[in-house]
Amino acid sequence: MTFLTKPKLHHPELHKNSLGYTRRDYEGAISTLCAGCGHDSISAAIIKACFELELPPHRIAKLSGIGCSSKTPTYFLGASHGFNSVHGRMPSVLTGANLANRDLIYLGVSGDGDSASIGLGQFAHAMRRGVNMVYIVENNGVYGLTKGQFSATSDKGAKSKRGIVNTDEPIDLVGLALQLGATYIGRSFSGDKAQLVPLIEGALRHKGAAFIDCISPCVAFNNHDGSTKSFDYVREHNAAVNYLDVITGRNEITVDYAPGTLETVTQHDGSTLRLRKLHPEYDMYDRTSAMTYMQQRHAAGEIVTGLLFVDPNPIDLHEHLNTSEAPLNALPQDRLVPGNAELAKLNARMR
């Protein structure tokens, strides 16, 4: 069974945001994933982030590939646009939709198999083009849907449930995103909602390619001793470089951190990211030092989490291509089909 409608009954006093929506209005169908799957926690974090940012559900488009992770958009934002594409092809479908209608907020959800194996090329080009989107990889180190084969993000030396040792080098999607030019890059853990929710909120506010690698344990096939993507392993090896608050401009600022440990980043839309820095030497504006830091900590067996890189002045694909401000479906006929005289001028320019 893949689709179970969620009963809409809820407490009449449930808190509403300024649009008049409760958190329940951002939910989807009942999840059919295994009980305890990390992916369900990520869905809950997405629901919370969209509710808190007061995003109108009809302005969001959620796209995915194939896998347990790619099934999750069915379980959140039931009133949003959705497209479940082919394995590894979410980025190109999202890019096309984004080019046709820049007015929507694009949320791509994928898995480590979907993005680091069959979809690696698509992932790379979406990052380097600066497609304005939030791209979340629900990273469990295995192909969960097809019953637990190692994926390309599985660490060398990690053991499968049946005791087989992975001998291949892992692909670090954060490292790739840094190298390829993504302008907002974070890593988190499905079991750390306090870190993950604001990370998603900041990404939704970012105008450019925002990538989040979220470690998300697969309780059915990759949550045993010897796995480097299990709940216990990630809890023991998680090294957060910072914690984040997102202030939208409407919200009154109610928290303040000790001087010297706070970094404020203003994004293009006026929202601010307030970072409590745990590692004072960590510089999230410098790609090269972020890459070096990631590699050093990985070699020491740590999983670095938090907002790892941000460019506060990103340039997205629409700016690169100088595309129409209006969505294509809103352009009047005379702009869509400018006529023979315009065509003749265009042809003349190419002679």
Contact positions vs ligand TPP (CB under 6 A): 66-69, 87, 111-114, 118, 138, 140, 142-146, 151
Site string for Mg ion, 203-242 (x = CB under 5 A): ----------------------------------------
39 binds ligand SF4 (CB under 6 A): yes
Residue 34 interaction partner, one of ligand SF4, Mg ion, ligand TPP, none, beta carbon < 5-8 Å per kind: ligand SF4
Amino acid at residue number 347? N
Count residues near ligand SF4 (CB under 6 A). 12
The sign of the torsion formed by the CA atoms of 38, 42, 43, 47 equals: positive
To the nearest whole angstrom, how small is the minimum distance from the Cβ of residue 69 to ligand SF4? 7
Among 144, 175, 198, 208, binds ligand SF4 (CB under 6 A): 144
37 binds ligand SF4 (CB under 6 A): yes
Among 46, 50, 68, 199, binds ligand SF4 (CB under 6 A): 68
Site string for ligand SF4, 207-226 (x = CB under 6 A): -----------xxxx-----
Nearer residue to Mg ion within complex by CB, 37 or 47: 37
Residue 188 interaction partner, one of ligand SF4, Mg ion, ligand TPP, none, beta carbon < 5-8 Å per kind: none
Residue 292 interaction partner, one of ligand TPP, Mg ion, ligand SF4, none, beta carbon < 5-8 Å per kind: none
Q: Residue 286 CA to chain centroid, in angstroms? A: 21
Amino acid at residue number 31? S
Largest CA distance in the chain: 70
Among 108, 111, 175, 306, binds Mg ion (CB under 5 A): 111
Crossing angle for the helix pair 193-205 and 38-52, nearest 10 degrees? 50
What are all long-range contacts of 220-224, with beta carbons under 8 Å and residues at least 24 apart? 220/34, 220/37, 220/144, 220/148, 221/140, 221/142, 221/144, 221/147, 221/148, 221/160, 221/161, 222/140, 222/141, 222/142, 222/144, 222/148, 222/160, 222/161, 224/159, 224/161
Nearer residue to ligand SF4 within complex by CB, 219 or 262: 219
d(CA 237, CA 300): 10
d(CA 264, CA 275): 6
Residue 93 interaction partner, one of ligand SF4, Mg ion, ligand TPP, none, beta carbon < 5-8 Å per kind: none
Residue 316 interaction partner, one of ligand SF4, ligand TPP, Mg ion, none, beta carbon < 5-8 Å per kind: none
d(CA 94, CA 81): 12
* DSSP 8-state secondary structure symbol assigned to residue 56: -
For tokens 């670090």, what's the residue? Answer: 172
Nearer residue to ligand TPP within complex by CB, 49 or 66: 66
Binding site for ligand SF4 (CB under 6 A): 33-34, 37, 39, 68, 140, 144-145, 218-221
